[in-house]
Amino acid sequence: MQIGLKDIDKEIATQLAARLEVAPGSYLLDNIAWKGTLPFHFTWSAVSGPRWIQKRPPTPVEAKAYTSYLKRRRRQRNRKLYLTAGIGFLALLLLTTYIVYGFVFPAPVFLQMLWFLILFCVLGCGIGALRQRLVPLDNTIPPEELAAALPLLHLSEAERAYGDILLLLAQTSPSEPEQERELRSTLNHLSRLLESKRQLETIRQNLLKLHQEENLQRLSEEYAELALQRDAATDPAARATFEHSMQLCLERIEGLRALQRNLERLSAQQKAIEQTILAARNALVRLQSVPRYEPQLQSASNELYDTIAQVRQRAQATEQAVIELLHMN
C-alpha cells in the first residue's frame, strides 16, 4: 500500500521530509558516514575552536534505506535528463521550422506568432517540470526509508504508535480495493485524532497555568476569613461589602472547580485518543502476521479488516467527543 507525505499527519510529514529530502551526505540528518563520504565533519566556533566530529556507521536498516534513496535520485536524474533532451530537440525543431518558413519560404505572420507561442509554451512547461524537487515523496515513501527515518524522529508515545501504523500500512498489500479504502479512511481519522491530541495538550497546558495560580484550599481559607470579618463588622455598609467579596470569592472557587473538571476531561480524551491509536496499531500487527496468498487464512484476514473497521468507528466517536470538548473550551 502506497503511503506518501500528503497522506499522513502534517507534523510527522515535515520531520520525515527534513530527513529524507536532502543531499546524499546529509541523508537522515544523524551524523552518519555514508559510503563515498568522509567519516567525519569539521566544525568551528569561537568558544571551542575547531573540532573534528567522527560520524557513526549506518545500521543495516539505514544502509538499505540509503540504497533506496540513491535509486530514487538516479531515476529522477534520468527523468530530468530525458526531459531536457526532449525539450531541447523540440525547441530546436520549432526554431528550425521558423527559420525555414520565416526567411526561406516566408509564412503568414499569424503562423509565425503561433510558432513563437508554441515555443514559449514548450520551454515554460519544460522549465516548470525541471524545477520539481529532486526526490519527491508526496505520493510514495519507500518502506525501507520509512523504517530508517521513524526511529530518528522526536515523537511522543502516541506519535510513535502512529509511526508504527504508517510502517505497517506501507508493508501491507490489501487484496481488495475496498480493504485499501478502509485502511486509508482509518489512517485519515487517526491523523485527525493525532492533531486533536496536540490541540488538547495546548489547551491543557494553558488551563494548567491558570490552575497553578489558584489554590482551592487557599481560596476556601480566604472565604472563611471574609465570613469572619463580615460577622465581626457592625457597620451595615461594611457588612454588605464583605458579603460582595464573599460572593466574588465563591465564584472563584466554582471557577477553579470547573477548571479541574475540564482538566480531567482533557486528560481523559487524550488517553482515549492514545488508546484508539494503540488499538489500531495492534489490529494492523495482527493483520501483518497473517501469511499472504493462503486461501485458508482469508477468513482470518477478513476478521482483522472488520476489527480495523471497528477501530475506525471508535476513532470517529472519539473525534466527535474531542470536537465537543474543544467547543466547550
Say if residues 52 and 40 touch (Cβ distance below 8 Å): yes
Question: Residue range 228-240: average pLDDT?
Answer: 87
Question: Residue range 182-197: average pLDDT?
Answer: 86
pLDDT level of residue 297 (50, 70, 90 thresholds): very low
d(CA 323, CA 318) in angstroms, rounded, equals 9
| Range picked from 99-103, 131-135, 270-274 for highest mean pLDDT | 270-274
205-216 confidence digits (pLDDT tens) = 887 877 766 677
pLDDT at 32 over 80: yes
Mean pLDDT taken over the chain: 80
Q: Residue 10 — left, alpha, or beta (φ > 0 → left; ψ -120 to 50 → alpha)?
A: alpha
Residue type, 194: L
Give the 3-state secondary structure of residue 54.
strand
- How is the chain split among helix, strand and coil, in percent rounded to 5? 75, 5, 20
Residue type, 28: L
Q: Residue 211 — left, alpha, or beta (φ > 0 → left; ψ -120 to 50 → alpha)?
A: alpha
- The cell for 254 is 466554582
Cβ neighbours of 269 (radius 10 Å)? 21
Give the 3-state secondary structure of residue 108.
coil
For residue 19, what pLDDT is reported? Answer: 93
